[in-house]
Chains A and B, each alone.
Chain A
Amino acid sequence: MRNIWRNRRRSLLAMLSVALASLLCLVLQGLLGGFQESLVKNFTKNETGHIRVTTKDFADRAELLPVDAMIHHPDQIESAIRTSPAIADKVRIMTERISFGVLLENKGLNKTAVALAGDPKTEESLLYLQRSILPGGHYIDGPSQTIIGAGLAEDLKLSVGDALKVVSEASDGSLQLKKFRIVGIFRTGVTTLDGKIFQVPLGDAKTFLRTEGGSQSIIIMLDDYHEAARVAALISALLEDPTLAVTPWTEIGDYARLIQIETKIFNALDLIVMFLGAFIITNIMTMVVLERRKEIGILKSMGFARGEVLVLFLWEGVFLGIWGSLIGGGLGFLLNVILHFRGVDFSSYFTSLEFPVDNIIYWTVDAPVAAGIVILGCVISGVVSIIPSLRAARMNAVDAIKSI
């Protein structure tokens, strides 16, 4: 013990370095988790959410955007979910959506398009189209308002303040027209969105399509997207309705695969960084022992046996390692927790992108992983201290003292 305190600076330096390495590794874990969460969210928020509740009929014909396959009482489903203790606190956002194909007309020009109807307030954190609104317009703040893509506006020669004439087939098969007032034009930079999509309030869509309160889908975003399949099964069991389909994002569409690939890449990169961290710790420990050759000599000349020297150094190495890992791991964990609740907005790095994605990253907190990193740090420190300690023990006392 005294050896350690005698050379405070060196010990402190070593401990600090181990701590920093552990801290960085842990914070990176949290960041990566946050990245992945953001990635999944951005891929799923527009169409499927983490979990999507629809009728089975709709699920079979989803690409046709049918308006005659509605969930009749979405409010009942929502309250059932909200009052179920096992499920309610896993849900972060739950909202109704209707997407339907329409024919637009202006001054004799026609264009087919797709309307996205949702609760405007909730869609501010899902569709994010408010972020892409061009100057001169504003987001939806009342009924019968709409924001349209810049491509649509161009093709139909529409501007802010104009009326948008929307023709669509309603749930009862009748042909309906509704005029919306264009309050904003958005440009996301993605041609498929800008040229085909416009957003309207859910209430207007329900009236227009004569759904009698029904909705096409209920989109659910969870706190932890990994649980999607499990929670979907729970919801399915809760609702006990064979006409409904409760589908997790992993089972809809192609993006699930792409995200899995991204995840694999992230994991590989993560491993590299961890490896580097371990390498650093190795280096530090090695140096610690090397620097103390002289002490070894002195100890030996004082009569310490080989075995005792070995144990001494080993113990010191492990001690430093444990403390370093604990401190670093602890601080890292704390940092992750803070950043989990606070989140960091990376939007400023992406100023050129009007792409409607969520750029606020919330670090993920994972206790087992944190513990794992701490233990790993200790183990590495221990293992790495063995060889130099052995060599120290075997050193000739005179040689040791002579070395600088």
Chain B
Amino acid sequence: MSTIIRIAFRNVIRHKRRALITAITMMVGIGFFIALDSLYNGLDRLSVDDVINFRDSSVKIFSAAYDADRESYPLDKGIPDTTAVGAWLEQDKRVVAVTPRTQFLAQAGNNRDSVYVIGNVVDPVSDAKVFLLKNALIGGYFTQRAGSDRQVIVGKDLATKLRLSVGDTVVLAASTRYEAQNADDFTIVGLLSTSDPALNKSSVFITYDAANDFLDLGGLVTEMDVRLEPRASLPATLADSTAVAAATKAAFPTLAPYSFQDLNKGILTVLKQKRAWGYVMMLFLLLIAAVGIVNTVLMSVYERIREVGVLKALGFRGREIVRMFILEGFFVGCLGSLLGTALGALINCYTIYVGFSLAKFGDVGGGFVFWGTLRGEWNPGSIIFAVIFGMVVAMVAAYIPARSAARMTATTALRFV
């Protein structure tokens, strides 16, 4: 057996050019497969990150009583001891920051028309540690100027609809915590432009300072949002979210914590579907690569049928000859896979550690602001799959012609052209 191995190896070296060509075909196919797969994961990740960074955070906590009545945005049934909950959360290593929020129904108007909106009361400092509103603002964030707590951030599309812009006054009308009607002038400090149309069209953000006065809030907190440590892969991110939500529920039975998955089944479903299409595309990639591999291997085997005759004349048995060719396929496959993995890893390194800044996509019409970076994700599973695929194809491609060649008699083979 070892003789065969040695012969196979030397054959490969002898036909360097052929081996290299086959290996390069494999390299390109496998390399791109790995890179694409990584990018697909990255794309999914972006969509999820957007929701986490702007709307739902990683874990959203309500009191159970509020949760039951969430649809009507009541200004009571808040979380009773937010300091205790916050402290408990922050000692979990997975938690980066926690922030309180309160939602209320309101109308936003320009003294002519008014629109129903969802109001969000935020603590500007802690909110910036959990959510990334600052990154999607046209204009500015809340400032700490004394006496000007009537600041508001509105969705960009909302402002457009009311024909308002940064620096203008918007009239917010809402019911206070005691069901009194209140309305006041707020100054727009920033316009929010995210990938979530709902946020852009019907959201406003004010500070707790303003709300305690405007809504007679008394510091009522109806939800707490949590930012978790970033994880390298999407599945890990989701798992963390579920785990922390469950732990919170166990520690505080009167609360209703929601993991990302609980809140966003719809998005995850759509992502899965898009992914399935992506797999079909990658299948084509592999098919074409297979064509290339098969072709080059076949050709090289057929070219050497005469050698088979020589080998047979020398006394090698058919089976050994077949094994030799398969081994050659194996070696070339190894080379190709190695190169392919290297190429894939190289591209991955770029996409994962540098990434594509989406700002380059720029204005896709209508002033839609893109931000953030598209990054790849390591996926050892698909790397292994691609490598195995390549090697199997190379070996099978070698096996088929080898078999028919090996069956020939020495003389027939020698006469082969």
Q: CB atoms of A and B under 8 A apart anywhere in the complex?
A: yes
Given A276-B28, A283-B25, A355 and B368 contact (CB-CB distance below 8 Å): no
Segment from A19-27, A135-143, A229-237 that makes contact with B? A19-27
Q: Which of B18, B21, B266, B295 has the most CB atoms of chain A within a 10 A radius of its CB?
A: B295
**Residue interface mask A182-220, B partner, CB < 8 A = 1:** 000000111110000000000000000000000000000
The answer to whether B276 and A346 touch across the interface, beta carbons within 8 angstroms, is yes
Given A257-B366, A272-B32, A28 and B295 contact (CB-CB distance below 8 Å): no
Q: How far is the CB of B396 from chain A (nearest CB, A)?
A: 16
B residues 282-302 with Cβ under 8 Å of A? 284-285, 287-289, 291-292, 294-296, 298-300, 302
The answer to whether A10 and B295 touch across the interface, beta carbons within 8 angstroms, is no
Q: How many residues on B have C-beta within 8 angstroms of the other chain's C-beta atoms?
A: 49
Q: How far is the CA of A380 from the CA of B287 in the complex (A)?
A: 20
A residues 276-299 with Cβ under 8 Å of B? 276-277, 279-280, 283-284, 286-288, 290-291
**Residue interface mask B197-238, A partner, CB < 8 A = 1:** 100110000000000000000000000000000000000000
Q: Which of B18, B36, B287, B304 has the most CB atoms of chain A within a 10 A radius of its CB?
A: B287
Q: How far is the CA of A346 from the CA of B273 in the complex (A)?
A: 10
Judge whether A341 is part of the interface by a CB distance below 8 angstroms: no
Contacts of A13 in B (CB 8 A): 295, 298-299, 302
Q: How far is the CA of A152 from the CA of B230 in the complex (A)?
A: 36
Judge whether B92 is part of the interface by a CB distance below 8 angstroms: no
Given A273-B288, A276-B29, A192 and B266 contact (CB-CB distance below 8 Å): yes
Given A13-B299, A192-B266, A261-B364, A352 and B272 contact (CB-CB distance below 8 Å): yes
Partner of A260, one of B287, B292, B295, B364: B364
Contacts of A265 in B (CB 8 A): 43
Judge whether B269 is part of the interface by a CB distance below 8 angstroms: yes
Q: How far is the CA of A52 from the CA of B303 in the complex (A)?
A: 63
Contacts of B298 in A (CB 8 A): 13
Q: How far is the CA of A257 from the CA of B280 in the complex (A)?
A: 24
**Residue interface mask B117-148, A partner, CB < 8 A = 1:** 00000000000000000000000000000000
Judge whether B270 is part of the interface by a CB distance below 8 angstroms: yes
Chain B interface main SS type: helix
The answer to whether A355 and B269 touch across the interface, beta carbons within 8 angstroms, is yes
Q: How far is the CA of A260 from the CA of B398 in the complex (A)?
A: 44
Contacts of B288 in A (CB 8 A): 21, 24-25, 273, 276-277, 280
Contacts of B353 in A (CB 8 A): none
Contacts of B380 in A (CB 8 A): none
Q: How far is the CB of B17 from chain A (nearest CB, A)?
A: 6
Nearest B residue to A6 via CB reads: B417
Contacts of B36 in A (CB 8 A): 269, 272
Judge whether B265 is part of the interface by a CB distance below 8 angstroms: yes
Partner of B299, one of A6, A10, A350: A10
Judge whether A313 is part of the interface by a CB distance below 8 angstroms: no
Contacts of B265 in A (CB 8 A): 189-191
Q: How far is the CA of A396 from the CA of B412 in the complex (A)?
A: 30
Q: How far is the CA of A16 from the CA of B294 in the complex (A)?
A: 11
Judge whether A7 is part of the interface by a CB distance below 8 angstroms: yes
The answer to whether A287 and B21 touch across the interface, beta carbons within 8 angstroms, is yes
Judge whether A130 is part of the interface by a CB distance below 8 angstroms: no
Contacts of A336 in B (CB 8 A): none
Contacts of B276 in A (CB 8 A): 346, 349-350
The answer to whether A24 and B284 touch across the interface, beta carbons within 8 angstroms, is yes
Contacts of B417 in A (CB 8 A): 6-7
Q: How far is the CA of A291 from the CA of B296 in the complex (A)?
A: 11
Partner of B285, one of A10, A17, A256, A276: A276
Judge whether A133 is part of the interface by a CB distance below 8 angstroms: no
Contacts of A190 in B (CB 8 A): 265-266, 269
Partner of A283, one of B287, B292, B365: B292
Judge whether A254 is part of the interface by a CB distance below 8 angstroms: yes
Judge whether A253 is part of the interface by a CB distance below 8 angstroms: yes
Given A269-B36, A272-B36, A280 and B277 contact (CB-CB distance below 8 Å): no
Judge whether A264 is part of the interface by a CB distance below 8 angstroms: yes
Contacts of A349 in B (CB 8 A): 276
Q: Which of A13, A256, A287, A353 has the most CB atoms of chain B within a 10 A radius of its CB?
A: A287
**Residue interface mask B151-192, A partner, CB < 8 A = 1:** 000000000000000000000000000000000000000000
Partner of A9, one of B43, B195, B294, B302: B302
Judge whether B393 is part of the interface by a CB distance below 8 angstroms: no
Q: Which of A20, A276, A283, A355 has the most CB atoms of chain B within a 10 A radius of its CB?
A: A276
Q: How far is the CA of A27 from the CA of B285 in the complex (A)?
A: 12
The answer to whether A284 and B269 touch across the interface, beta carbons within 8 angstroms, is no
The answer to whether A279 and B270 touch across the interface, beta carbons within 8 angstroms, is no
The answer to whether B285 and A283 touch across the interface, beta carbons within 8 angstroms, is no
The answer to whether B18 and A290 touch across the interface, beta carbons within 8 angstroms, is yes
Given A257-B365, A273-B285, A280 and B291 contact (CB-CB distance below 8 Å): yes
Nearest A residue to B416 via CB reads: A9
Contacts of A257 in B (CB 8 A): 364-366, 368
Judge whether A357 is part of the interface by a CB distance below 8 angstroms: yes
Judge whether A31 is part of the interface by a CB distance below 8 angstroms: yes
Contacts of A284 in B (CB 8 A): 292, 295-296, 299
Q: How far is the CA of A14 from the CA of B291 in the complex (A)?
A: 11
27 residue pairs from A and B, CB less than 8 Å apart: A7-B417, A13-B302, A24-B288, A31-B280, A31-B281, A63-B201, A190-B265, A191-B266, A254-B197, A254-B200, A254-B368, A257-B364, A260-B365, A261-B361, A261-B364, A272-B32, A280-B292, A280-B295, A283-B21, A284-B296, A287-B18, A287-B295, A287-B296, A287-B300, A290-B17, A357-B273, A404-B304
16 further interface pairs, Cβ-Cβ under 8 Å (given A6-B417, A10-B299, A13-B298): A10-B303, A17-B295, A24-B287, A191-B265, A192-B266, A256-B365, A273-B284, A273-B285, A276-B28, A276-B29, A280-B25, A284-B292, A346-B280, A350-B272, A353-B269, A353-B272
Q: Which 9 A-B pairs have the closest CB atoms?
A: A190-B266, A280-B292, A17-B295, A254-B197, A20-B291, A257-B364, A28-B284, A257-B368, A24-B288
* A residues adjacent to B (C-beta < 8 A): 6-7, 9-10, 13-14, 16-17, 20-21, 24-25, 27-28, 31-32, 35, 63, 111, 155, 188-192, 253-254, 256-258, 260-261, 264-265, 269, 272-273, 276-277, 279-280, 283-284, 286-288, 290-291, 346, 349-350, 352-353, 355, 357, 404
